[in-house]
Amino acid sequence: MAQPANNSLTGVLERIIFFNEENHYTIAEFRPDGKDRAKEEDTAKVTIVGPLPGVECGETLHLEGEWTSHVQHGAQFKIASFKSELPASVYGIRKYLGSGLVPGIGKVYANKIVDSFGTDTFRVLSEESGRLRNVAGIGKKRAASIKSAWDEKKTERELYIFLQTYGVTPSQCVKLVHRFGNEAKRILMQEPYRVAREVDGIGFKTADRIAINLGFANDAPPRLDAGILYALETLQEEGHTAFREAELRDHTSLLLETDSKLVEARIIALVDNKYLVRHWPSGVANPLPGSGLIQLPHNDRAEQKIADVIARLGKVSSCLPSIKVDAAVKWAEEKAGFAYHELQREALRSALQSKVSVITGGPGVGKTTILRALVEILRAKKVRVHLAAPTGRAAQRLAETTGGYASTIHRLLKYDASKGGFVANESSPLATDFLIVDEASMLDSRLASALMQAVPARAHLLLVGDTDQLPSVGAGNVLKDIIATEQVPVTRLSVIYRQQGQSQIVITAHAINSGDPSLPPVLSNVADAQVWSDLNFIAAIDAEDCLRKIIEICTEFVPKKLKWPHPIHDVQVLAPMHRGIAGVGNLNQQLQAALNPDRPALRTNTGEYRPGDKIIQLRNNYDKNLFNGDIGTVTSIDGVNGTLTADFDGESHVFDRGAFGDLGLAYTISIHKSQGSEYPVVIVPLLKAHFMMLQRNLIYTAITRGRKKVFLVGEPAAYAMAVRNSESKQRITHLKEKILMQALPPA
């Protein structure tokens, strides 16, 4: 049927089919005014597409745009701009309340309430909520709960309407209300840059758009200051804890499109007012302007604490009982039933004799053997040993290999949400004599600082990690910086022992590390994969073929050929990039459809969640004791209240609308998110289209996450590109300099 040529539509939002959290692109069913709202025939509905941030089903929308024709889906109205308002019709109100937007009101109660009050429903909810008790099934308690939820949503609603042109998502609005309450809108209008500082998820760019539209000058000091801090925060997200002052000035000037001299003056002012810290080059009498390193105060403090602790541990005598080191090593060899390599013996000696030491090396070089022996020696001497790792999976693996209890660093330090910090700290150190930290390459500056402050002065600290892996997700380069100072004994293990050197995972990982781009045998079809081999490379001609073969491995090869019946839990896809056909986002949607179809779903702004889905926590949530990278399983959904319940390592957690932005599907995760974890089966898509991310340490990290099987799926040329590219971006930090300054004799 031909659509009218007019470029505007007004009507009711019926159903949201698709919503992209990143750009708010929406596909939805829409019932224009004039259609029969008493009936719900499909013919009365039209499809609308375009950005629709913050809207809910049942709302009345005023759309501007144009009609287009889609080859597959037919006529669609493409949205250029829109305005929304609360629905005025009985039909729209019923749709709105029944959408699950207001906790406590599902479809059943929505129908009862609207049947009782009709078009007067919203006024009753706002002004005469006591009348709700006249509705069948609604008592005093439920009425009060509905009133409270409605009032909260009213505040959020006003924000949605105000912010819908600024790209602020519903979940961000929830956070604004939680932080500022009824003052949220006023603060946003008067102090937009404050919102960017204090509300997680409201970044500088959003605040800046609002500020500019509200009339803030392009070179206003609050804007310049916020831009400088934002620039440092974005650089921090790239791993830097410090940045050269002149480069920061130029970077910020370009970002804000303003005069670099104005930015330079504000950097100086921020340093003078202690919002920033400057470090001049050491040993330079008259440093050039702009040559200093600029740090955010929390990064400066974190690195300084690490340096202080390393210096302190080195000055205080050990609490260990007398241990004849060579005899202890020989005893451990006899217990193990084989002789250690000299490098392994050296690692044991160093750990027992030095207050702070490091063991580093790739897969299969005997790190596990050393740790098991060290723990056995210390236990035999009644030494209090604590084992920790940055992630839950890494901690579990450490416990299994040593036979002792291991915990995540966060759980070891016991975060106290009421105090906003860890229970174990400098004033209240851990009750330990020897702390072993595995996967130490994952330690960012802030976590390393918190951990090290909790180490007693007489205790030993051993850091174990693989410096060839990707650096920490958070800012810093702690393990590499400590090694680079040459102030701490370091044992580099290099001889391969795992499976007598026959593991293709291990062999390939070391070949990658040495820059050898030679491919393992390349197979054309999934069915040709060798069941006996722990690594297979399956060629794909393009992204679509890559996607198809990944799904085939998960749905056919793993459960039928390998006889592992739980691919959701046993298989982890690790993608180099988030976007694209073979990126994290699309792979998650496709694998969810293939592995967990046809189950009731809760639609959120970040996607659909179903019972049985594998999900990932994307940000630290200290209140829930959940941390970036934790993986769990959805156990149930509540469509009425808009919540889901998920299990993380045996602990049940409930998530509401405000927390959905912290979750994502985890059938596929980024390689960066996989650090510190191992999985029975790992699948890695490798395409030339991923060239921006194809680096040696990336593919090395991905392959070494596989415990039993690794499948590389993609283009052989992409593999070679990754192996040849060893130029990972250098992180700028100030930790090495701080440690060396502590080591200098007093002037």
Cα(447)–Cα(6) distance, integer angstroms = 58
- What was the pLDDT predicted at 168? 64
For 262-288, what is the mean pLDDT?
A: 92
Residue 232 reports pLDDT greater than 60: yes
Question: In the prediction, which pLDDT does 100 show?
Answer: 65
Tokens at 503, concatenated: 């593991």
Q: What is the mean pLDDT of residues 112-136?
A: 86
pLDDT at 531: 87
pLDDT (tens digit per residue) in 32-77: 886 544 444 445 789 998 878 667 777 788 888 889 887 767 788 9
**What is residue 129's predicted lDDT score, i.e. its pLDDT?**
83
Residue 286 pLDDT = 85
- For residue 277, list its beta bridge partners: 295
* DSSP line for 382-445: T--EEEEESSHHHHHHHHHHHTS-EEEHHHHHTEETTTTEESSSSSS--S-SEEEESSGGG--H
In this structure, is the dihedral angle defined by the CA atoms of residues 449, 452, 456 and 457, taken in order, positive or negative? negative
Confidence of residue 4 (pLDDT cuts 50, 70, 90): very low
Which pLDDT score, from 0 to 100, does residue 299 have? 96
Residues in the chain: 747
| Cα three-residue angle 387-325-352, rounded to 5 degrees | 30
- As a whole number, mean pLDDT of residues 643-651 equals 89
pLDDT at 161 over 70: no
Question: Ranked by mean pLDDT, which of 247-261, 608-622, 641-655 comes out on top?
Answer: 247-261
Q: What is the pLDDT of residue 417?
A: 72
Please tell me whether residue 507 adopts helix, strand or coil conformation: helix
Which of 431-445, 468-482, 574-588, 643-657 is most confident?
Answer: 431-445
Q: What is the pLDDT of residue 605?
A: 64
Q: Is 453 within 8 Å of 414 (Cβ atoms)?
A: no
pLDDT exceeds 50 at position 238: yes
Residue 458's pLDDT band (cuts 50, 70, 90): very high
Q: Give the pLDDT mean for 75-81.
A: 86
Q: For the chain, give the percent of residues with pLDDT over 70.
A: 90
Q: Is the model's pLDDT at 99 over the cut of 70?
A: no
Q: What are the C-alpha distances in Å from 296 to residues 228, 270, 305, 330, 466?
A: 10, 10, 15, 49, 28
DSSP labels, 630-683: -EEEEEEEETTTTEEEEEETTEEEEE-GGGGGGEEE-SEEETGGGTT--EEEEE
Instruction: Give the per-residue pLDDT at 167.
Output: 58
Question: How many Å is the Cα radius of gyration of the chain?
Answer: 29
Q: What angle is formed at CA 282 by the lines to CA 279 and CA 287, rounded to 5 degrees? A: 75
Average pLDDT, the chain: 85
Provide the pLDDT for residue 148. Answer: 80
Whole-prediction pTM: 0.74
Whole-number pLDDT of residue 40: 44
For the cut 70, the answer to whether the pLDDT of residue 220 exceeds it is: yes
Average pLDDT for 617-640: 84
